[in-house]
Amino acid sequence: MPVNLPALLPEQLLPIDGVTLGIAEAGIKKPDRKDLLVMVLDEGTKVAGVFTRNRFCAAPVIVAKQHLAQASIRALVVNTGNANAGTGEAGIQHAQATCAALAELLGCAAQQVLPFSTGVIMEPLPVDRIVNGLPAAVANGKADNWFAAAQAIMTTDLVPKAVSKQIELNGKTITMTGIAKGSGMIRPNMATMLGYVATDAAISQTLLQSMVQYAADHSFNRITVDGDTSTNDAFMLLATGKAGPAEITRQESAEFGQLQEAITAVAAELARMIVRDGEGATKFITVQVEAGKNPDECTKVAYAIAHSPLVKTAFFASDPNLGRILAAIGYADIDDLDVNGIQLYLDDVLVAEQGGRASDYREEEGQRVMNQSEITVRVVLNRGTATTTVWTCDFSYDYVKINASYRS
Amino acid sequence: MPVNLPALLPEQLLPIDGVTLGIAEAGIKKPDRKDLLVMVLDEGTKVAGVFTRNRFCAAPVIVAKQHLAQASIRALVVNTGNANAGTGEAGIQHAQATCAALAELLGCAAQQVLPFSTGVIMEPLPVDRIVNGLPAAVANGKADNWFAAAQAIMTTDLVPKAVSKQIELNGKTITMTGIAKGSGMIRPNMATMLGYVATDAAISQTLLQSMVQYAADHSFNRITVDGDTSTNDAFMLLATGKAGPAEITRQESAEFGQLQEAITAVAAELARMIVRDGEGATKFITVQVEAGKNPDECTKVAYAIAHSPLVKTAFFASDPNLGRILAAIGYADIDDLDVNGIQLYLDDVLVAEQGGRASDYREEEGQRVMNQSEITVRVVLNRGTATTTVWTCDFSYDYVKINASYRS
């Protein structure tokens, strides 16, 4: 069960003028499941994205980057059940063939289509099944199909993940809706496995690219489930411009700041949903590192804690074996760290200071917080003013179970 | 059950002239278990060691380093059940008090005693119980007590770990015997949790220090169970000099090379024993990275594979879901890595090349190797001549079980 994730209702998701979504059952890996999504964009929609930095990046990532650089984008196609990663030259051809087939159906150029895949690595993409499924997905296209789209991109996810938000910008209502998937192989280094946020705001291509990077850095790039960076990570931001004629063109403008804040909030909410539905998760952990010399050292400490199997199994067991957190801080690779200057808090409980257990700390207090399903680990380094927040989950039997049986 | 680790017999362990070992039940954490070890060294024994680089290093590590720099060492004292780490200034005083009490019993200075602790972090050391247990441990001292010593330093270890070896050096028989403990929180960054190798060879202090570093780098620094670096790691090399009058003083000498090779072999065997008894381990995995530009990049690739929870759970399941290994290679943080130039082998089976699955690869072949309890993952980078080998184990339900219930 995802951690404190209320059931998503289709009517909570707002359509974005200029975007239609269609899904189909292409039988890519298993029969009778929605596994193909086509998003069609009105002409003039701006698209920007960030992609995985894994060197074994998937064929669709390579092709999507090329297309994004070459042409205005009119459609996105996403399949689950197969990652088309570690598939060599054949994988590239399969991704291109998928784009070409969809382009023919839509009457645009193949370069105007971005392909995305998620699923098992190093198995040939069943490209014929995908191509055969495209007409049904296109025919299914409609604006109020975000809920079905969120379902169609799931793999080991237990629940679909989506969110809508509206803000007022210069007296106009701007709408944004996003979907994401991801549950394991989550330590994004650019973005999560797959995330898409669309808005009807009007914004220049340059600013859109800057915004998607900022949003990724403050959302999908701040989560981890198991420390594995996927081959297929991609986070795309789509702006149809339908809500207003005045395009945002200045990074210094109030409109840019407001829109960036709202888009980042949507992305961060999707990212946290991924952690709440992390494979086997029973707890949602916020790791907040404060008063560091620079963001880099805060991030090192935060991820050392968030990745430690020993820390994560202690959370699973609700065991206030908090020395494991000190050990993780200690091996975070900060050479000149003086451990005597650090404070460790669990929620509001001061656990450790001056290199050891705080004199007022009582195990009952630690136990009380550990019993919760939402816990904040706060580390105060007392060396500067930088801060980082990372979100993660605990490590349970079910993580092993899910990943020991993923392909079967 | 440890992976392919034959039962250790007390008679396999050879005494080292100049070293006596005594154990006791001090009731440190639980009653009725051997939890205290005292090693007494004849005068003139040289001692060198490497210690954890965790910034939250334990109080005994701090004290042992100071004593090693100050005096000739006459005794080592090791307790299990409590790590005396994350214990601040009180922890230092407790470690010093332990040394002082043992020194008084032995008639030497407190600085001539090295303290070691292993167990739970951030709980006060029950120093009185340790001090009260010391007389029994001293009284128990004898030369043929290595098996009991190996048992006395266990925590979550399922079996004691020890090995003896003899070589001929200049016509004299040189004996070496080592013990080690460690099962979780294993990603040594200097050494394992605790390892001790003694020899009756005669060697200068400078060369002994060089030798212990070399041996650690090729043994304990090449293993990982869960990626957590302990606060208490220490690997000590003791040379009594009893086997011969001619001290080894030249690093270029044949004797130095032969002794270093033998000591390293003993340390590597102990290190592999730790992995075979890794928490929850069902398989022993050798990760060999070849033809890299430099050792550093080989090590990055090897540890990316050896730490990936997804790779480790696939081994547990005997599932040849080998794309996960490609993904780990891809995020090993080697910026200019051309994935098309890499070959991946599972034992003798070529799995991947040219960026994807090898054309001759058949799943039955991958399955055959995955079913084994000993597996070699071989990655050929084809960029140079450097090589690294790392040993690890799989990731099972039992790892979670052991670490979710360690303190109870």
**Residue B406 pLDDT exceeds 60:** no
Cα–Cα dist B55/B17, whole Å: 36
Residues B330, A229: C-beta atoms closer than 8 Å = yes
pLDDT band at A186 (very low <50, low <70, confident <90, very high): low
* A245 inside 8 A of chain B by CB: no
The 10s digit of each residue's pLDDT in B256-270 is 999 999 999 998 888
Q: At what angle do helices A127-139 and A88-106 cross, to 10 degrees?
A: 20
CA A277 to chain centre: 12
User: Which pair of tokens denotes residue A226?
Assistant: 């198991």
Q: Whose CA is closest to A307, among A187, A157, A221?
A: A187
CATH architecture of A10-276: 4-Layer Sandwich (3.60)
Between the CA atoms of A333, A335, A338 and A341, what dihedral angle is there, to the nearest 10 degrees? -50
* A400 inside 8 A of chain B by CB: yes
Please identify, in words, the CATH class of the domain defined by B284-404.
Answer: alpha beta
Q: Which residues of B touch A314 (CB under 8 A)?
A: 403-404
> Mean per-residue pLDDT for B385-397?
91
* Residue B252 DSSP code: T
Residue A47: strand pairing partners? A238
Q: Which residues of A touch B344 (CB under 8 A)?
A: none
**Residue B190 pLDDT exceeds 50:** no
Q: Whose CA is closest to A236, among A187, A193, A277, A265?
A: A193
* Position B277, amino acid: D
pLDDT band at B236 (very low <50, low <70, confident <90, very high): confident
Cα–Cα dist A18/A73, whole Å: 13
Nearest-by-Cβ selection for A122 from B83, B226, B326: B326
Quote the pLDDT of residue A182.
79
pLDDT band at B333 (very low <50, low <70, confident <90, very high): confident
Quote the pLDDT of residue A99.
98
Q: Whose CA is closest to B229, among B98, B396, B61?
A: B61
The 10s digit of each residue's pLDDT in B2-17 is 888 888 889 999 999 9
Environment class of A292 (CB within 10 Å of its CB; exposed 0-12, middle 13-18, buried 19+): buried
Cβ atoms B92, B63 nearer than 8 A? yes
Cα–Cα dist B149/B23, whole Å: 6
Share of residues in chain B with pLDDT > 90 (%) = 59
ipTM of the complex: 0.77
**Residue B230 pLDDT exceeds 50:** yes
Q: Which residues of B touch A55 (CB under 8 A)?
A: 329-332, 334, 337, 339
Of the residues B192, B224, B264, B282, only one is catalytic, namely: B192
Q: Which residues of A touch B324 (CB under 8 A)?
A: 121, 185, 228
Environment class of B317 (CB within 10 Å of its CB; exposed 0-12, middle 13-18, buried 19+): buried
Nearest-by-Cβ selection for B54 from A184, A327, A399: A327
User: Which pair of tokens denotes residue A332?
Assistant: 């975070």
Quote the pLDDT of residue B245.
66
| Residue ranges per structural domain of chain A | 10-276, 284-404
Residues A331, B54: C-beta atoms closer than 8 Å = yes
| pLDDT, chain B, mean | 89
Cα–Cα dist B175/A199, whole Å: 74
Q: From the candidates B120, B303, B331, which should be mutated to test the interface with A, based on the most A CB atoms within 10 A?
A: B331
The 10s digit of each residue's pLDDT in A27-85 is 998 888 999 999 999 999 999 988 887 888 889 999 999 999 998 999 999 999 898 98
Quote the pLDDT of residue B80.
92
Q: B10-276 with B284-404: one CATH topology?
A: no
Share of residues in chain B with pLDDT > 70 (%) = 95
Which of A91-95, A152-156, A268-272, B179-183 has the highest average model confidence (pLDDT)? Answer: A91-95
- Which residue from B minimizes the CA distance to A90? B356
> Mean per-residue pLDDT for B345-356?
94
Q: Whose CA is closest to B396, among B274, B271, B309, B302?
A: B309
* A88 inside 8 A of chain B by CB: yes
**Residue B24 pLDDT exceeds 60:** yes
Catalytic center residues of A: 192
> Mean per-residue pLDDT for B248-252?
91
Which of A192-201, B141-150, B167-176, B273-282 has the highest average model confidence (pLDDT)? Answer: B141-150
pLDDT band at A220 (very low <50, low <70, confident <90, very high): confident
Q: From the candidates B232, B326, B344, B367, which should be mutated to test the interface with A, based on the most A CB atoms within 10 A?
A: B326
Residue with the larger pLDDT of the pair B88 and A24? A24
Residues A89, B321: C-beta atoms closer than 8 Å = no
3-state secondary structure of B352: strand
Q: Which residues of A touch B330 (CB under 8 A)?
A: 54-57, 229, 231
Quote the pLDDT of residue B215.
85
